[in-house]
Structure 1
Amino acid sequence: MKYIITESINLPSSPPSWILALALAAAFSADISHGASAPLVALQAANLPEGPLASWDNTGSLKGVFKNDGTNPQVKVIDGVKAVDFSGKDHMLADFKASAGIVGNQPWTVIVKTHCRNLGDERTLVSWANRPDNCLELQYGDSTQFGAIGTWSGNVSGWLENLPAKDTWHTFIYSYAGGPDGEFHAWCDGNLRVNRKFSLSIKADRPLVIGACMAGDPAANVGYTHHIDGAIASVQVYDRGFTTLECWNASGFQSAHLIAPLHGAVLDAVTTTLQWEMGSSGVVAYALHVGTTKSQLDLAPKSQVATKDTFPLVVSKLTETQYGPLKLALGTTYYWRVDQLDASGKVTQKGLVAEFKTETGNAVKPVPADSYIMVEGGKHELSWTPGKYATKQNVYIGESAAEVLAKKTPDFAGLAPTVASISLPNKNLAPGKSYFWRVESTNSAPLSASAGEVWSFRNVKKKLKVYISSGQSNSVGCSMVTPMPDKYKGYNKNVIVFVRGECRLGEYGWAYLRDGLGSGFGDRDGKGTFGPELLFGYTMAPQDPAQVMAIVKIAWGATNLGVQWRSPSAGGVTGNLYTNWVKFYQEAMAKLDPAFEPEVAGMLWMQGESDASDKKMTADYAKNLAALIKDVRAEVKQPDMPVVLAQISKTAAWGPDLGDGLRAAQLEVTKSVPHTATFATDDYKLGDPWHYDTAGMISLGERFAKAMRTLEKN
């Protein structure tokens, strides 16, 4: 059996509040035993006097002291718990180094009880090994790439949609099994929220830090970064990885640990076997409660011979740690709980409630994709993947969702379960008009029928203008979506886009233009970034619903024209990025609906920053860019294709001349190469030393559009 979940593991909701409160209270007050080994580091704020904290004694086996290092952490009572409060600029530095057992690729486990006010970007609770390269930062931040663990390598992870809520107490457990491709788990309050495989190589002979990460060589005058804005009540560091049950117990829970199905899972089957493990000692048997509502779980236990596939189901005195297989209904949410019993049958630990769903049995994967387009003069075919339990299918087509849902007579009736496409009976679809359809499935007994989702498509004209957007990181886009006006968020259904190269979402398209198609770099709150394609698309988009335009975006950050983008006409070795650009451009055109009649109407070029700090590349830039334009025009078979160049920003990041030489080269190209234009960007503010902020990126797209329209008119 498989589970359909959005990440490797997805636990979207927390345990019931009363159970969580008890668990946190137990975790704060009890010294939980974690196997044979004692912790290397054990910090507990409960006995510290309130007020400024100069030092914090380590009662773990490494002994030593954490000192405030000239900062000003304070001991306070926060929401009933005494803790060390870090203001966003404080930290505690150990007077000892991390032991050999937790560096390199050795296993370790860290338990932190924390309450944070601000989760912006990266926030480091515990670290050892300084930045850069092979550091270790265990984090509670909203950065999609590094919010859970940062290492200045590819071994990183954020919490993604599983980010724990701020302004409340949490117990975090970070555990690494060690070795090549060792399992890394990040738990919050008994929920496994991150599950990855890493091959770590953590630097040795570095001190531990609480509340931040050391930046730079500790032998020099180093700084600190990624400070937390919040409080820490306790820290424990172990030189071994924890089992899932140990993580469960260390989170403060002694009840049965529910293993499968995962909480929040959507099953792709209509049978399942429930599995759990003992949460504490002295358990003799279990009482299993299953229902389709939470209230059904409070029924009194019955005998073990209860009807297995009838719900609510209550089975007492189970001695196994699994039960099933259970037969389930389609499209149903199930709730379950396992109580632990002693020898007398008394409940010693009431279990937590978990839930899972079954799939609907509907047909899936419509083509055209839901709400997407169909091109006039094309095949006018609808296709889908049939529901896995279907024995017969009916297809309904109409001009509104209500019509399709209300129809009693199918347009295509009694289709075999293997049929996955039909040709539309009406070939004369009105341009700009939307049409609706659904596939109804009669399922094998005893499963009920699946009505099918209502999908739609819009008919559009075959003439299509295609624009190309390429360059380095300001072409990829490192500007945050969040501050952007809401009118630019979501999908623009008059523009379709194809994205290759660097993109936070991976490969994308052909699909509607949307926000969030930028880099993971600069995504400080998990809401995405965007590049100039977004506002260029909004500004240039046709207003007629019968028409769309297209953008092919191919860009990579931190890349140069002198070597990587070098095109054949520049002489020398053709750059790998130019070669890949040709490959991806050809892929884009090959995957475009063949009914379209495309015309490549222009190119946007935002690049040059990486060449600006190299004198040779700056000197050759005008020649190399003219060669690139020549070769791109030849590839797209448009010898006079308009090309708009955005000048790079004026900043010290581009060298002593602030990029003046490179901007001069860009201007030179527009004077010597026909049908080209450029504009300045030095009035834009930067979100970091290299990239435009949100307002700047919005303007960049708009200025590209303005310059392109001027070239098109001429």
Structure 2
Amino acid sequence: MQKKVIIVLVLTHMLSIALAQNNEKETFRLFFLGGQSNMEGHGLNTELPDSLRGTIENVWIYQGCAVGDENQKGGLGKWDNLKPGNGAGFISDGVTNKLSRKFGPELSFGKKLQELYPGEKIALIKYARGGSSIDSLAAREYGSWEFDYQGSNGINQFDHFLTTIIGALCVKDIDGNGIEDVLVPSGIIWMQGESDAVLSKDIAFRYYANLKRLMDLIRAVFRNDDIPVVIGKISDSGMDNQGKTWEFGELIQYAQEEYVRKDKNAAIVRDTQFYQYSDPWHYDSKGYIDLGIKFAEAISILSKAK
């Protein structure tokens, strides 16, 4: 834990320096996208409309490679233009990104932000791991975001998140135009909770406290206790044999609503209840496109309200 606290302090120092030395530099609005598989994304690139098939101008993304706990390669990435392929199956070794045949909400999110902030540059940092929980007792083989979770070698999903952030912030010119960049943290987008709704009522009951603590920690990394947070409300496809995929899903939904009720700088996207599914766990391509748009609209409204 002590090592991780030191890393967080180093990150906050890096951001402090970047924000303090904003002379003759380019400014980017920076957004973090995190969570589990519906943030990772299972939309099919072949089903994208023409408006989302190419490179999204003035939007860059740094995506950390998603792996399980204990794996020391988690979080490696490289800045690139936003385009299709940052969904499930994306991998990076820190030198080369290998795009996948899938996309997540980041694609339409970046496109919508381009419309909401015309002429501005946007930077996205994404780390999402399918099946990951916040509660360590629900980690299974997928991983846990719990800050203090040790596992077998002390590496968890929060560590992979930190690796992603460090790798992204160490680059001083993310668009490669020869001008040093200043990344201004502007929002956290979180789509997760299904894995905490699977195993027990006790785990689901702890979700509010776990979610609040995790968002507080992520905000601390970005040196802003009031940075806007948008939560994607989990939904249920009803496609398993019992007609209910997440046994304790209602408890997670209640906790998500409670979080945004109590946090004046948080909002929730509820449109997920209307989405269609490609399998029992993941939205279809249209759902991911709409989700990204709704995330962008919500974070824009929160930012204007501050």
- TM-score tier after normalising by the smaller chain length: 0.7 to 0.9
Q: Does 1:699 align with 2:263?
A: no
Q: Is the 8 A contact 1:567 1:575 kept in 2?
A: no
Give the aligned partner of residue 516 of structure 1: 85
Q: Which amino acid aligns with 1:711?
A: L
Please give the TM-score of this superposition, normalised by the length of structure 2: 0.74
Q: Which amino acid aligns with 1:539?
A: K
Give the SS at the match of 2:206.
helix
Q: Is the 8 A contact 1:467 1:550 kept in 2?
A: yes
Q: Write out aligned runs for 1:88-103 (5 A).
A: none
Q: Is the 8 A contact 1:498 1:553 kept in 2?
A: yes
Q: Which amino acid aligns with 1:631?
A: L
Give the aligned partner of residue 232 of structure 2: 646
Deviation string, structure 1 residues 74-103 (Cα, Å, up to 9, x no partner):
xxxxxxxxxxxxxxxxxxxxxxxxxxxxxx
Q: Does 1:626 align with 2:212?
A: yes
Deviation string, structure 1 residues 605-659 (Cα, Å, up to 9, x no partner):
00011111122221100000000011111111011100100011123464335x2
Q: Is the 8 A contact 2:197 2:247 kept in 1?
A: no
Q: Does 1:576 align with 2:156?
A: yes
Give the aligned partner of residue 255 of structure 2: 665
Give the aligned partner of residue 31 of structure 2: 467
Q: CA deviation at 1:510?
A: 1.0
Q: Is the 8 A contact 2:61 2:124 kept in 1?
A: yes
Q: Out of 171, 186, 196, which is 1:591 matched to? A: 171
Give the SS at the match of 2:31.
strand
Aligned residues, how many?
A: 246
Q: CA deviation at 1:493?
A: 2.1
Q: CA deviation at 1:539?
A: 0.3
Give the aligned partner of residue 17 of structure 2: none
1:592/1:620 CA distance change after superposition, 3 Å: farther
Question: Separation in 2 of the partners of 1:629 and 1:646?
Answer: 13
Give the aligned partner of residue 18 of structure 2: none
Give the SS at the match of 1:599.
strand
Give the aligned partner of residue 534 of structure 1: 107
Q: Out of 110, 118, 122, which is 1:549 matched to? A: 122
Query: Greater strand share, 1 or 2?
Result: 1
Give the SS at the match of 2:78.
strand
Highest Rg: 1 or 2?
Answer: 1
Gapped runs of 5+ residues in structure 2?
Answer: 1-21, 68-74, 91-98, 137-143, 174-178, 239-243
Gapped runs of 5+ residues in structure 1?
Answer: 1-375, 379-460
Question: Separation in 2 of the partners of 1:636 and 1:656?
Answer: 34
Question: Separation in 2 of the partners of 1:494 and 1:628?
Answer: 30
Question: Separation in 2 of the partners of 1:572 and 1:621?
Answer: 19
Deviation string, structure 1 residues 445-482 (Cα, Å, up to 9, x no partner):
xxxxxxxxxxxxxxxx6111100000001111111111
Q: With CA pairs under 8 Å and 6+ residues apart, which has the higher RCO, 1 or 2?
A: 2
Give the aligned partner of residue 193 of structure 2: 608
Question: Separation in 2 of the partners of 1:629 and 1:642?
Answer: 10
Give the SS at the match of 1:638.
coil
Q: Which amino acid aligns with 1:600?
A: P
Give the SS at the match of 2:168.
helix
Give the SS at the match of 1:687.
coil
Please give the TM-score of this superposition, normalised by the length of structure 1: 0.33
Give the aligned partner of residue 63 of structure 2: 499
Q: Which amino acid aligns with 2:134?
A: L
Q: CA deviation at 1:527?
A: 7.3
Deviation string, structure 1 residues 266-310 (Cα, Å, up to 9, x no partner):
xxxxxxxxxxxxxxxxxxxxxxxxxxxxxxxxxxxxxxxxxxxxx
Q: Is the 8 A contact 1:611 1:617 kept in 2?
A: yes
Q: Is the 8 A contact 1:605 1:644 kept in 2?
A: yes
Question: Separation in 1 of the partners of 2:192 and 2:104?
Answer: 13
Deviation string, structure 1 residues 105-153 (Cα, Å, up to 9, x no partner):
xxxxxxxxxxxxxxxxxxxxxxxxxxxxxxxxxxxxxxxxxxxxxxxxx
Deviation string, structure 1 residues 485-539 (Cα, Å, up to 9, x no partner):
0110121121011011339xx9653111001111139xxxx97111111111000
Q: Write out aligned runs for 1:279-294 (5 A).
A: none
Q: Does 1:489 align with 2:64?
A: no
Q: Is the 8 A contact 2:150 2:156 kept in 1?
A: no
1:577/1:527 CA distance change after superposition, 3 Å: closer
Q: Is the 8 A contact 1:495 1:512 kept in 2?
A: yes
Q: Which amino acid aligns with 1:509?
A: K
Deviation string, structure 1 residues 542-575 (Cα, Å, up to 9, x no partner):
432xx3110001111111110211135xx99887
Q: Which amino acid aligns with 2:246?
A: G
Question: Separation in 2 of the partners of 1:592 and 1:602?
Answer: 20
